[in-house]
């Protein structure tokens, strides 16, 4: 008899819609293959749903804040039911762009230079600091968001205007802008699964490029890199995955510029939608969507 799977999706983050889509796609595939499935929001009914449904495994399909930053993982460990993807510490580290970057730097994984900015600082000092440490243009991004939510490429002319749009975060990251090619690498446990290149029609691979079917982002697989360069970027992603302590499947986002790779961030719960990259990489490697999901379920654990 196939196991009972409770899928956590939705949530309160700005990536709620993506999470709902991931949850639906995973549920559809599992039901098609004989599993008993229930989808639950991570709300006050979660305990009730778990006690009533009695799942064998919890598939965490949440994205963004509360879903992949260690919070829901802390709650899930109280139930003593195996749950998918990375645990409390790895999830919180990967979601925090400042801490994860410090780990990249410590382990000699090339990443764009950055500064952290608090909104109680003066804007005039910020411009001088950017000129000194980063140079324009720069990338402004929240420290704890995913899916390129509220990420902007800024010039000296528009940065003050952009900062007003992200002021609610209190603290943000300002990162050196790296031009060049967008390369994404998937890691599956101890396996370097593969890579894919993205050519967005937009300025960069932002939220709309990722999830809008009209964005017309071109997906290129296999990636046109030499074997040495492909191995280099795969090894960088694998090293980041291991140093942060991730489990399950992760996707690392790189820029390739002037023959160098720059790791932007690592995602501990990559999307499983029709436009998602990890299922596409897996399919190219001969791993069907259901086999990918079943591997993730098999990798589930009660404690990370």
Terminal-to-terminal C-alpha distance of the chain: 27
Catalytic, 267? Answer yes
Of 19, 145, 271, 276, the active-site residue reads 271
Q: Hey, which residues does 263 pair with through a beta bridge? A: 254
Separation of alpha carbons 164 and 25, rounded Å: 36
Name the nearest CA neighbour of 297 among 4, 65, 69, 80. 4
Catalytic, 253? Answer yes
Catalytic, 169? Answer no
Catalytic, 29? Answer no
Of 86, 91, 100, 147, the active-site residue reads 147
Question: What residues contact 1, with CB distance under 8 A and at least 6 apart?
Answer: none
| 191 neighbors 173 (Cβ within 8 angstroms) | no
Catalytic, 301? Answer no
Of 253, 280, 294, 304, the active-site residue reads 253
Of 265, 276, 280, 304, the active-site residue reads 265
Of 211, 248, 280, 304, the active-site residue reads 211
Name the nearest CA neighbour of 154 among 80, 224, 204. 204
CA distances from 255 to 82, 115, 173, 260, 261 (A): 35, 19, 17, 8, 6
- Farthest-apart Cα atoms in the chain, separation: 65
Beta-carbon count within 10 A of 48 CB: 11
Catalytic, 251? Answer yes
Of 9, 10, 11, 15, the active-site residue reads 15
| 277 neighbors 29 (Cβ within 8 angstroms) | no
Reduced to 3 states, what is the DSSP secondary structure of residue 220?
Answer: strand
Of 60, 91, 267, 276, the active-site residue reads 267
Of 251, 280, 294, 304, the active-site residue reads 251
Q: Which residues are catalytic?
A: 15, 147, 211, 251, 253, 265, 267, 271
């Amino acid at each position: 008899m196939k196991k009972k799977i409770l899928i956590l999706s939705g949530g309160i983050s700005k990536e709620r819609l993506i999470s709902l889509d991931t949850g639906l796609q995973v549920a559809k595939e599992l039901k098609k293959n004989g599993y008993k499935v229930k989808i639950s929001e991570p709300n006050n009914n979660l305990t009730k749903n778990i006690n009533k449904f009695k799942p064998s495994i919890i598939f965490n399909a949440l994205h963004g804040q509360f879903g992949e930053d260690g919070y829901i993982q802390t709650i899930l460990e109280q139930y003593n039911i195996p749950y998918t993807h990375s645990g409390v510490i790895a999830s919180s580290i990967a979601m925090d762009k400042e801490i994860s970057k410090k780990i990249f730097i410590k382990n000699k994984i090339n990443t764009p230079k950055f500064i952290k900015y608090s909104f109680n600082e003066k804007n005039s000092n910020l411009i001088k600091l950017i000129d000194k440490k980063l140079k324009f243009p720069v990338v402004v991004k929240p420290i704890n968001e995913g899916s390129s939510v509220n990420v902007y490429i800024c010039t000296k002319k528009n940065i003050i205007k952009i900062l007003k749009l992200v002021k609610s975060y209190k603290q943000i990251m300002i990162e050196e802008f790296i031009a060049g090619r967008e390369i994404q690498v998937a890691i599956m446990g101890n396996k370097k699964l593969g890579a894919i290149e993205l050519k967005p029609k937009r300025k960069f691979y932002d939220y709309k490029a990722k999830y809008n079917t009209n964005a017309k982002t071109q997906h290129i697989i296999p990636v046109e890199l030499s074997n040495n360069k492909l191995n280099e970027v795969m090894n960088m992603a694998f090293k980041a995955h291991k140093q942060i302590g991730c489990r399950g499947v992760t996707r690392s986002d790189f820029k390739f510029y002037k023959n160098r790779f720059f790791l932007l961030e690592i995602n501990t719960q990559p999307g499983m939608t029709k436009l998602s990259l990890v299922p596409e990489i897996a399919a190219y490697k001969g791993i069907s969507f259901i086999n990918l999901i079943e591997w993730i379920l098999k990798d589930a654990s009660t404690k990370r």
